[in-house]
Amino acid sequence: MAYTTITKHTDYFNTKLYTGTGSSLALTGVGHQPDFTWIKCRAAGSGTDHVLFDSVRGATKALNTNDNSAEDTISNSLTAFGSDGFTVEGNGATGASGDTYASWNWKANGSSTTTNNDGATTSYISHNSTSKFSIIKYTGTGSATNIGHGLGGTPDYFITKALDASDWHVWCNNFPSQKRIKLNSQGGWNTNTSIFASLPDATKIYFGNGGDVNSSGVEYICYAWKNVTGFSKAGVYKGNGDANGTFVYTGFKPAWIMYRNVSTSENWEIHDTKRNPGNLSNKIFYANQNNLETTTDRIDILSNGFKARTTNASCNANGNEIIYLAFGQSLVGSNNTPCTAR
């Protein structure tokens, strides 16, 4: 059994579904004031980008996981973060009339950042000490360096992107030193000392001199998580190639999962239980593509983890390594105290 120290998970992460109106739409019901919001159109006339906003860079400033484009200021996109949600305008990626959208929302510590000098390079952090999530902004030096992350322990998963045109890079626990994989690509993982120079530790993330993570004078954003028992889990598992696939123990019922087969060329696949409350979980977004939501049987989401229900290589190729990031649903008893996940 796993015990959660977080009574109400929606205070720190929640999925919000909505329908655009083509004009200003103030959305509530997220359960917290989000600091990081990821939006994807589910159904429209054509595919639209994944758009990511955070309170550190500011509303209207979008990054797309499905390409390597620079940060774009979109005045009619997400225009404000509110106490229980956010406001969108009529841009096709965030609020076109009649189009349906999924948004995934994380709470950090607001737009005011703390200066962190744990690393050789100063970083500016919005950090939530309960959910162990940091939004980190830093400026590259052009030489191998390290930055403080503020998590209070070694990160289990982080994603880094320059605010200019460059690839996204992901690191997950159990990666060997200097391994990385791109979020905006189908390519498998590889070793690149110019990206992640060495393994992160309890206070710092280490970057090489590669332009995607550390070009002189360029600003970068990094989203980093440390596992929290009963709330969040990043890790790696091996597929078995069978329709009765590998079971992955998280210690909670996942509300959101993103996974990626790093051993070969595959898509990043995203599931959540708002779009697909039952099993099989088959409503999928590809984080590295601008495709609309697709329907393909993949996994069962269980009370204490998830299980592959396909032989598809994306989540269950025999012997391949698959990384994942998952956030849980609230487990609250009748007395409003945390419960155990079985």
Going from the C-alpha of 127 to that of each of 7, 106, 225, 285, 300, the distances in angstroms are 19, 11, 10, 27, 32
**Model confidence at 86, in pLDDT bands (50, 70, 90)?**
very high
Per-residue pLDDT at 311 exceeds 60: yes
**Model confidence at 338, in pLDDT bands (50, 70, 90)?**
very low
**Model confidence at 189, in pLDDT bands (50, 70, 90)?**
confident
- pLDDT by residue (tens digit) across 92-129? 999 999 999 999 999 999 999 999 999 999 999 999 99
**Which residue, 179, 158, 196, 161, is CA-closest to 67?**
161
- pLDDT by residue (tens digit) across 231-290? 999 999 999 999 999 999 999 999 999 999 999 999 999 999 999 999 999 999 999 999
Q: What pLDDT, on the 0 to 100 scale, is given for residue 15?
A: 98
Q: Answer whether 265's CB lies under 8 Å from 187's CB.
A: yes
Indicate the pTM of the whole model: 0.95
Q: Is 264 left (phi over 0), alpha (psi -120 to 50) or beta?
A: beta
Per-residue pLDDT at 333 exceeds 80: no
Q: What pLDDT, on the 0 to 100 scale, is given for residue 70?
A: 98
Per-residue pLDDT at 332 exceeds 70: no
Q: What pLDDT, on the 0 to 100 scale, is given for residue 182?
A: 96
- pLDDT by residue (tens digit) across 125-174? 999 999 999 999 999 999 999 999 999 999 999 999 999 999 999 999 98
Q: What pLDDT, on the 0 to 100 scale, is given for residue 340?
A: 44
Mean pLDDT of the chain: 93
Look up residue 261 and give its two tokens: 């087969």
**Model confidence at 330, in pLDDT bands (50, 70, 90)?**
confident
- pLDDT by residue (tens digit) across 198-239? 999 999 999 999 999 999 999 999 999 999 999 999 999 999
Q: Is the dihedral of CA 118, 107, 277, 283 positive or negative?
A: negative
Per-residue pLDDT at 176 exceeds 90: no
Percentage of residues of the chain with pLDDT beyond 70: 95
Measure the CA–CA gap between 254 and 147, rounded to whole angstroms: 31
**Model confidence at 191, in pLDDT bands (50, 70, 90)?**
confident
Per-residue pLDDT at 296 exceeds 80: yes
Q: What pLDDT, on the 0 to 100 scale, is given for residue 225?
A: 98
Per-residue pLDDT at 71 exceeds 70: yes
**Model confidence at 3, in pLDDT bands (50, 70, 90)?**
low
